[in-house]
Structure 1
Amino acid sequence: MNIEQTVSTAVADLALGSTFTFDDLVGAIQDHRQRTLRIVELADLGDHDGICAVWLITESEDLVLHAHSDSVLHRQQFVLHEFAHMILGHGEDDECSTEDFLLPDIPARTRRRLLTRQDLDSHTEIAAEALADHLAAAIRGSVCGESRYLEIFG
């Protein structure tokens, strides 16, 4: 399946229509994954650290940690990229690997996602960024209303 088809299928599966709010998207992801989704900005994390955002899967929730940026759109893209990984089912494979020995305190799924982030040309990273772009366009196309979007992105 090519990336355009992957993105189109993922958007259709969300059943949100062509425009939606940030809150609608968060709700759809929580419904799809049957777990709470929490978004937290880490002031000490910056894109100069090489990680703009990370999705952590805990026992009880999905947690997206993102770096600060003075650009609202930049911060939004950090978070939407991680949402895209969730929607596309990336990082759900629990296979053990040699990293178990090297980084035993970090969950296997998180280790794999962090260690593969440097491969920005991979199919999964390109698909996640393409879906994040599509999600951003749909959110911008929605009618501005009461939303946690402003609470999170300013």
Structure 2
Amino acid sequence: MNVEMTVSTAVADLALGGAFTFDALFDAVRQRRQRKLRVVELAELGDHDGICAVWLTTDTEDLILHAHSDSVLHRQQFVLHEFAHMILGHCDGDECSEVDALLPDIPPHTRGRLLRRQDLDTDTEIAAESLADRLAAGIRGSAFAESRYSEIFA
């Protein structure tokens, strides 16, 4: 897998340009997947679990549960990583078969992908984290553009 090409193609396919808001990205992901999308902080997730965020799917919606962090940027990165998995289609079709084996008693339509961001040794996780970083850069670019940062400090 050529991660850079995969990520660049995914960013281009979103058609958001080089700078965009989190809300614009949220809407693009929701429209692309043609389903309801919710993002919820779940205080029970945390470092003790080793889970930063969980992407759950049902027949009609995607749900991202993320851990609390005192840093807004850190929380945003949790969510962007899950968005990246969605954008890259990592849980479409048979891609989540490992979840089937881990959670056999949970009906297939409620299974999600439990993603541990620290396990970055697979192509899937590397691509998702790389895309999440690119998405964060686009959001930062929008914030700088809106604040005229580059005009004032350049």
Do both share a fold (TM > 0.5)?
Answer: yes
Q: C-alpha displacement at 1:64, in angstroms?
A: 0.3
Q: C-alpha displacement at 1:143, in angstroms?
A: 3.9
- Secondary structure of 1:137's match? helix
Q: 1:47 to 1:105 in 2, by over 3 A?
A: same
2:24 aligns to what?
24
Structure 1, unaligned stretches of length 5 or more? 146-154
Q: C-alpha displacement at 1:107, in angstroms?
A: 3.1
Is the contact between residue 88 and residue 128 of structure 1 (CA under 8 Å) also seen in structure 2? yes
Structure 2, unaligned stretches of length 5 or more? 147-154
Q: C-alpha displacement at 1:99, in angstroms?
A: 4.3
Normalised by the length of structure 2, the TM-score is 0.82
1:107 aligns to what?
108
- Secondary structure of 1:26's match? helix
Q: What CA deviation, in whole Å up to 9, does each residue of 1:20-67 have, x standing for no partner?
A: 000100110111100111000001211321110011111111000000
Rounded to whole Å, the distance in 2 between the matches of 1:92 and 1:32 is 13
* Map 1:34-113 → 2, pairs under 5 A: 34-94=34-94, 99=100, 103-105=104-106, 107=108, 110=111, 113=113
Q: 1:107 to 1:10 in 2, by over 3 A?
A: same
Rounded to whole Å, the distance in 2 between the matches of 1:38 and 1:85 is 15
Q: Which moved more, 1:93-102 or 1:21-30?
A: 93-102
Rounded to whole Å, the distance in 2 between the matches of 1:69 and 1:127 is 23
* Amino acid in the other structure paired with 1:63: L
Aligned residue-pair number: 144
* Amino acid in the other structure paired with 2:104: L
Q: C-alpha displacement at 1:102, in angstroms?
A: 5.8
Is the contact between residue 91 and residue 110 of structure 1 (CA under 8 Å) also seen in structure 2? no
Rounded to whole Å, the distance in 2 between the matches of 1:56 and 1:33 is 14
Q: 1:67 to 1:109 in 2, by over 3 A?
A: same
* Amino acid in the other structure paired with 1:104: D
- Secondary structure of 1:75's match? helix
Percent identity between matched residues is 69
2:152 aligns to what?
none
* Amino acid in the other structure paired with 1:103: P
2:139 aligns to what?
139
Q: C-alpha displacement at 1:96, in angstroms?
A: 5.9
